[in-house]
Structure 1
């Protein structure tokens, strides 16, 4: 069984500088998917850039409930937004697990609101691109209510979704989220990907029992918006540098790992 690897540039549309870097990662590196935050102000810039520079790139939806403004009217999704109509940040959420170090607040989002905003972002994606995504996933935070909402939307729109557990149908092959449960994941996320993380197979690609596997990266340039609105800064630049390292692509070739996008998982 030949291993197939999806490498996603998450946060596409976060800022204009980030968009340029993500497209470079697709053009010159191992990035196979651009995962769009359709609610963000720089989403139209990202879509137009991709159409111009990488028209064959697989754009998917990076559903976002913690950054910027929602697509839905704020009064229709009260559990997700503050008094200014902005999404609550992830640190304001109450986590499912008391030991969660990211979600340390008391905000509890409802399945209904998450479903409404997921559908709104799917439809915004279509407005921007002209088509529905063939995959969607969540940005930054996933909990049981988001998972329930995602399952509902995935079945309604017949779109592949990565959540826990993965939505299963006869339409697509299962995809392994190779970072889940990996003790090195947060370290690599925070500092950025290094070539040795690939060369030493710290993600466990070679030993994965799955045919289709996915790695999420954040390859891009940094601008003032990123600096002001994200704790992930220099790691994005390191992800981009490593994604474009010729040695990394050669390692994948040497180990007969095929780079694919989400179109390949559909039967």
Structure 2
């Protein structure tokens, strides 16, 4: 099995960035996805350039922070920030969605980092109003997209030539975080040749404590993803830790 361990929310804050880099340097995280519209973006870019073995994709955002582009009123609230949740995306203007996603990709490319793949915050890339646009952008950039796990989007994904993994798990999340729970996820997908497990390692800082509902669990994830026991399991099972760049 080839395993991609991706850390979401790279760029959210310095605490998140430092946790992700440690989980890569000292643990099994191979990949991260960058939020270009958050305050920790430039700090994350600097860290990524110092750690070139960390694959970096883009974490497209439509539900957190502020947009990169201008004049996207169907995506924002009265304060110019992205609306919470995904209900508004059904009525959002498709041209505004595409304009914003292109702006985020433009900011990523301007950073000088190599784009390995595309995924999204709160899985908005799998939303029926967003997925066709994301697949078009992925084809243009010739990069993979995280496997959309929402059932209503799978038919669209399966009709696309955009590469993705055979398996994907978002279950390493919440309060049941142990080495054993991570191992169970891996074993449940053992029949696949290439899989991705989504993670959120971080150190806590003011930005996370005030802006996210997922807080202390991030430090628990960091502890598990760097645990000697888990690293030994990966070696014993001869699991290859890879990035999205190896999907071709």
TM-score, reference length from structure 1: 0.82
Of stretches 134-143 and 105-114 in structure 1, the one that deviates more from structure 2 is: 105-114
Q: Identify the residue that residue 236 of structure 1 maps to in structure 2.
A: 218
Q: Does 1:121 align with 2:118?
A: no
Q: Contact 2:45/2:113 (CA < 8 Å) preserved in 1? A: no
Q: 1:177–1:115: structure 2 CA closer, same or farther, 3 Å change rule?
A: farther
Q: Contact 1:28/1:244 (CA < 8 Å) preserved in 2? A: yes
Distance 1:118 1:135 in 2: 14
Alignment deviations for residues 41-85 of structure 1 (CA, whole Å, 9 cap, x no partner) = 210011112223x13321110111111111111x1x221111211
Distance 1:44 1:152 in 2: 27
RMSD, matched Cα: 2.1
Q: Is there any run of 5+ residues in structure 2 with no aligned partner, and where?
A: none
Alignment deviations for residues 63-122 of structure 1 (CA, whole Å, 9 cap, x no partner) = 11111111111x1x22111121111122xx32xxxxxxxxxx797434332222111111
- SS state at 1:190 partner: coil
Distance 1:131 1:19 in 2: 15
Q: Contact 1:16/1:45 (CA < 8 Å) preserved in 2? A: yes
Distance 1:250 1:44 in 2: 34
Q: 1:192–1:70: structure 2 CA closer, same or farther, 3 Å change rule?
A: farther
Alignment deviations for residues 172-213 of structure 1 (CA, whole Å, 9 cap, x no partner) = 4x4034326xxxx2xx412263111134x1x15454432110
Q: Contact 1:219/1:237 (CA < 8 Å) preserved in 2? A: yes
Distance 1:114 1:106 in 2: 9
TM-score, reference length from structure 2: 0.88
Q: 1:17–1:79: structure 2 CA closer, same or farther, 3 Å change rule?
A: same
Distance 1:40 1:204 in 2: 31
Q: Does 1:68 align with 2:52?
A: no
Distance 2:65 2:47 in 1: 21
Distance 2:166 2:48 in 1: 26
Aligned residues: 238
Alignment match of 1:57 (pick from 54, 58, 67):
54
Q: Does 1:259 align with 2:241?
A: yes
Q: 1:192–1:39: structure 2 CA closer, same or farther, 3 Å change rule?
A: farther
Alignment match of 2:202 (pick from 208, 220, 224):
220
Q: 1:191–1:214: structure 2 CA closer, same or farther, 3 Å change rule?
A: same
Q: Identify the residue that residue 42 of structure 1 maps to in structure 2.
A: 40
Q: Is there any run of 5+ residues in structure 1 with no aligned partner, and where?
A: 95-104
Q: Contact 2:8/2:59 (CA < 8 Å) preserved in 1? A: yes
Q: Contact 1:26/1:32 (CA < 8 Å) preserved in 2? A: yes
